[in-house]
Structure 1
Amino acid sequence: MHGDGFPAPDSGLLLTHFLTVTDVARSRAFYTDVLGGKVVLEENPCTVKLANGWIIMNPGGGPTPDKPDITLRPPTDPGTVSCFLNLRVADIEACYREWTAKGAHFLTPPIDRKAELRCYLRDPDGYLIEVGQATGMLQGVYADPPAGTR
């Protein structure tokens, strides 16, 4: 690992999450000021260490030689999601209060889902973020299977 916190492993691999954003400064502020991340690199690409992972943010753009025929852009339909960040916390009520006070807009307050307490919020570009606290799953109580799969 780089001494400055940049996600560059000395061996093996580590996982980062890349977000295509419309305004790097706005997104950087959300992930640092609201969620408590630390800036590792301001721009090109913006890299924020968040807990034990990293969020990498850059504006969208067209194809490049290493990703021909691929265009990057932030989400356009908030009702359709193909992936989302999943943040696991020790105290969801405290996070909900703290992040709401800092300007986060949650879809609902935390809801007891038997296996966990869970709620969702969106970042400035509309990316969905799940915030969950394991409760029942620590005692072997898991979520119900998705509707129509029983």
Structure 2
Amino acid sequence: MRREDLPAPASGILLTHFLTVADVARSRAFYADVLGGEVVLAENPCIVKLANSWLIMNPGGGPTPDKPDVTLHPPADPTRATSFLNIRVADIEQCYRDWSAQGAEFLTPPIDRKAELRCYMRDPDGYLIEVGQATGMLEGIFADPPAGTG
């Protein structure tokens, strides 16, 4: 295994995303087989290199010495989210077709939001994943502000 395959910078920082998953093999297959990631480490923890980032996945569990009051678990309610992955793509229609054919389940097809084309899907644990392609924002056109923000 080469250092550049791991989320281990020689200097500075590198951002990864940790997912607490119910079934490591199932999640690994989704991120590798459906989204085209590269499995760097299969288990303990599972690490998948996806585009220019890494996803680190492990089962949930109770507190540990370095997080004494924290219990990790996959999403309990897929209709409520406090964060989500955001994947930016060059051709959203192609990704939508390819990933749908591989088994990804999208909430809707891509929708034009002025600044971008955007749609959402879920991973096997219910994590929300936004897939977006910059369109209008490249020309200074941005989305309307959220309702009630004025």
Range into which the TM-score falls when normalised by the shorter chain: over 0.9
Shift of 1:3: 2.9
Cα distance between partner residues in 2 of 1:95 and 1:50: 14
Tell me which stretches of 4 or more aligned residues in structure 1 moved more than 3 Å. none
Which letter maps to 2:113?
R
Instruction: Name the structure 2 match of 1:136.
Output: 136
Shift of 1:79: 1.1
Shift of 1:4: 5.4
What percentage of aligned pairs have identical amino acids?
78
Shift of 1:85: 0.2
Cα distance between partner residues in 1 of 2:67 and 2:3: 30
TM normalised by structure 2 equals 0.98
Maintained 8 Å contact 1:120/1:128: yes
Which letter maps to 2:54?
W
Maintained 8 Å contact 1:47/1:54: yes
Cα distance between partner residues in 2 of 1:32 and 1:139: 34
The secondary structure found in structure 2 opposite 1:137 is helix
Provide, for residues 83-116 of structure 1, a one-character-per-residue CA deviation record: whole Å limited to 9, x for no partner: 0000000000000000000000000000000000
Provide, for residues 55-102 of structure 1, a one-character-per-residue CA deviation record: whole Å limited to 9, x for no partner: 000000000000011000000111110000000000000000000000
Instruction: Name the structure 1 match of 2:97.
Output: 97
The secondary structure found in structure 2 opposite 1:29 is helix
The secondary structure found in structure 2 opposite 1:76 is coil
Instruction: Name the structure 1 match of 2:54.
Output: 54
| Number of residue equivalences | 149
The secondary structure found in structure 2 opposite 1:129 is strand
The secondary structure found in structure 2 opposite 1:11 is coil
Q: Counterparts in 2 of 1:52-131, with a 5 A limit?
A: 52-131=52-131
Structure 1 unaligned blocks of 5 or more: none
Shift of 1:15: 0.3
Cα distance between partner residues in 2 of 1:96 and 1:5: 27
The secondary structure found in structure 2 opposite 1:28 is helix
The secondary structure found in structure 2 opposite 1:119 is strand
